[in-house]
């Protein structure tokens, strides 16, 4: 039986958010951002294990996330980029025998703490055993402009077939490990690494609520979304 393992990279510093500590440790509505994210996966019936990747010198997790759970694995092997943190996390899971190559891995940003559980279910069901894997994404809604060097519109770009990638991104563990074993330059998500090998990940309808806490102004929206408990 193949298992489904959530891998949560949480080794970033949150420079753009600028909270004086990594944004995943900011408390919103009584819990840290990271605790909200981990709980979504720990409470989902179709997830067998949740692994969180921390920076090796993380000093916040122990006090900021008082979660004890037999399905939670803490890995202190974060790297200098998100892709490196994910690669190190997968290697550690395989080395420790907590995952096998045929298991499905679902990589999800710690900073996307408002993922609706039904969007996670939708991804799992739509991707199934597809060897190409798949990702949550939303069709681009706004009109797109390409700027010139003076920040004036140089052209209007068609949004036909353009999607905005979200996470989770779900792949067979062995495939993702192979995809990330090459150079990591220009790899901004797991799908881009897998595409490099010629695979075509499925695009599964995501959710606007699944936003990534990135800038200070995002905190207000995240706070509203997290206080909207029952509908999530």
Q: Which residues bind ligand CTP (CB under 6 A)?
A: 9-17, 22, 24, 53, 78-82, 85, 109-111, 212, 214
d(CA 124, CA 128): 6
Residue 33 Cβ, how far from Mg ion at the closest point, in Å? 14
Separation of alpha carbons 34 and 97, rounded Å:
25
Nearer to Mg ion among residue 26 and residue 204 (C-beta):
26
Positive or negative CA dihedral for 174, 176, 179, 183?
A: negative
d(CA 12, CA 22): 7
Tokens of 16: 């753009």
Quote the least distance from Cβ 24 to ligand CTP, whole Å: 5
> Cα separation of 64 and 57, whole Å?
15
CB-based closest residue to ligand CTP: 12
Residues facing 6 on adjacent strands: 50, 106
Residue 232 CB, shortest distance to ligand CTP, in Å, is 19
Handedness of CA 13, 18, 15, 204 (dihedral sign): positive
Nearer residue to ligand CTP within complex by CB, 81 or 130? 81
Lay out the site mask for Mg ion across 10-49 (x = CB under 5 A, - = otherwise): --x-------------------------------------
Q: Between 84 and 123, how does the x/- string for binding to Mg ion read (CB under 5 A)?
A: ----------------------------------------
Q: Is 112 helix (H, G, I), strand (E, B) or coil?
A: coil
Complex with ligand CTP: residue 156 or 181, whichever CB lies closer:
181
C-alpha dihedral, 4 to 86 to 134 to 172, nearest 10°: -50
CA gap 91, 177 in Å, rounded: 7
**In sequence order, what are the residues at sequence separation of 6 or more whose Cβ sits closer than 8 angstroms to the Cβ of residue 22?**
10, 12, 13, 14, 60
Which residue lies nearer to Mg ion by CB, 12 or 134?
12
39/130 with CB nearer ligand CTP: 39
Q: How far is the CB of 22 from ligand CTP (least distance, A)?
A: 6
Q: What are phi and psi of 32, to 5 degrees?
A: -70, 160
The distance of closest approach from Cβ of residue 83 to ligand CTP in the complex, given in angstroms and rounded to an integer, is 8
- Judged by beta carbon distances under 5 to 8 A according to partner kind, the member of ligand CTP, Mg ion, none in contact with residue 16 is ligand CTP
> Using CB distances below 5 to 8 A depending on partner kind, what does residue 10 bind out of Mg ion, ligand CTP, none?
ligand CTP
* Interacting residues with Mg ion (CB under 5 A): 12
């Amino acid at each position: 039986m193949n298992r489904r393992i959530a891998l949560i990279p949480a080794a970033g510093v949150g420079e753009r958010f600028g909270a004086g500590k990594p944004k995943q440790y900011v408390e919103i509505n009584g819990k840290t951002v990271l605790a909200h994210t981990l709980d979504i996966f720990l409470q989902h019936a179709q997830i067998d294990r949740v692994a969180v990747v921390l920076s090796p010198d993380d000093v916040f997790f122990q006090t900021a996330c008082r979660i004890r759970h037999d399905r939670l694995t803490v890995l202190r092997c974060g790297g200098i980029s998100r892709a490196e943190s994910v690669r190190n996390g997968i290697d550690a899971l395989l080395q420790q025998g907590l995952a096998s190559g045929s298991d499905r891995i679902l990589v999800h940003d710690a900073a996307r703490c408002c993922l609706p559980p039904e969007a996670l279910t939708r991804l799992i069901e739509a991707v199934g055993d597809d060897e190409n894997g798949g990702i949550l994404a939303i069709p681009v809604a706004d009109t797109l402009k390409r700027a010139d060097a003076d920040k004036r519109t140089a052209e209007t770009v068609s949004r036909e077939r353009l999607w905005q990638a979200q996470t989770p991104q779900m792949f067979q563990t062995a495939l993702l490990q192979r995809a990330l074993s090459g150079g990591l330059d220009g790899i901004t998500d797991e799908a881009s690494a897998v595409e490099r090998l010629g695979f075509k990940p499925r695009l599964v309808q995501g959710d606007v609520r699944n936003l990534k806490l990135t800038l200070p102004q995002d905190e207000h929206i995240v706070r509203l979304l997290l206080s909207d408990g029952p509908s999530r």
